[in-house]
Amino acid sequence: AQKITQTQPGMFVQEKEAVTLDCTYDTSDPSYGLFWYKQPSSGEMIFLIYQGSYDQQNATEGRYSLNFQKARKSANLVISASQLGDSAMYFCAMREGGRAAGNKLTFGGGTRVLVKP
Amino acid sequence: DADVTQTPRNRITKTGKRIMLECSQTKGHDRMYWYRQDPGLGLRLIYYSFDVKDINKGEISDGYSVSRQAQAKFSLSLESAIPNQTALYFCATSDLKGKLFFGEGSRLTVL
């Protein structure tokens, strides 16, 4: 079974609007971490946001927020006020075990976002 | 200068050739990783190392080997490259807080 599922292979969003990227995960480990990375066309992987399984509040980093619904095993990324520079591939990833277990991440297949002016 | 540096950035080679991808980091992290990215499949873990004496196989280690020459250096080798190893390869490090720092990637094409 897929451990990380991103069901949206690609999507368009209008500049200045918000966009939600879906991510569901599967793990039986009570301690885990969820990550979102951005990969622009240049290819580098850019860390966006992190949510720990025991974190009480949803993570936020500037225009990025993570809608963490633990019971539903979902960790959707919300990008507010989209900008042209947000056009990229976005990957959801999971680390099973606590931080001491090391960042052996399992990645989803990604969602390509194209921001329209 | 980048914190995690990969060489070469691009390489075209032929089937059967031995290839080494090198990674060096200035973060001072003990933990290093090699990932492979294929279109539509995200990244998959090939090998990881938690310190110089600790090397572990990841999800897709067949056909690859690694060497941790020093805390700062972690190289990935393809002993006999095959076309389905054509991919984008990423080296990464992580600190104990859990954040991964990726290199810029090495694009390998095996003809």
Question: Nearest chain A Cα to B2, which residue?
Answer: A44
Q: To the nearest whole number, what is the mean pLDDT of chain B?
A: 92
Query: Which residues in chain A touch residue B102, judged by CB atoms under 8 angstroms apart?
Result: 44-45
Q: To the nearest whole number, what is the mean pLDDT of chain A?
A: 92
Q: What percent of chain A has pLDDT over 90?
A: 80
Instruction: Using alpha carbons, select from A75, A93, A103, A3 the residue that is nearest to residue A39.
Output: A93
Q: What percent of chain A has pLDDT over 70?
A: 94
Tokens of B29: 């992290």
Is the pLDDT at A103 greater than 90? The verdict is no
Q: Is B64 on the interface with A (CB under 8 A)?
A: no
Q: Is A48 helix (H, G, I), strand (E, B) or coil?
A: strand
- The reply to whether residue B43 touches residue A43, judged by beta carbons under 8 angstroms, is no
Instruction: Using alpha carbons, select from B71, B83, B91 the residue that is nearest to residue B21.
Output: B91
Q: How far is residue A28 from each of residues A53, A108, B43, B45, measured CA to CA in Å?
A: 12, 17, 22, 20
Is the pLDDT at B2 greater than 90? The verdict is no
Instruction: Classify each residue of A32-52 as buried b or exposed e, where b means 16 or more C-beta atoms within 10 Å of its C-beta.
Output: bbbbbbbbeeebebeebbbbb
Q: Which of B59, B97, B102, B107 to mutate against chain A (most A CBs within 10 Å)?
A: B102
- The reply to whether residue B98 touches residue A109, judged by beta carbons under 8 angstroms, is no
Query: Which residues in chain B touch residue A105, judged by CB atoms under 8 angstroms apart?
Result: 35, 43, 45, 100
pLDDT on residue B1? 59
- The reply to whether residue B100 touches residue A102, judged by beta carbons under 8 angstroms, is no
d(CA A93, CA B43): 9
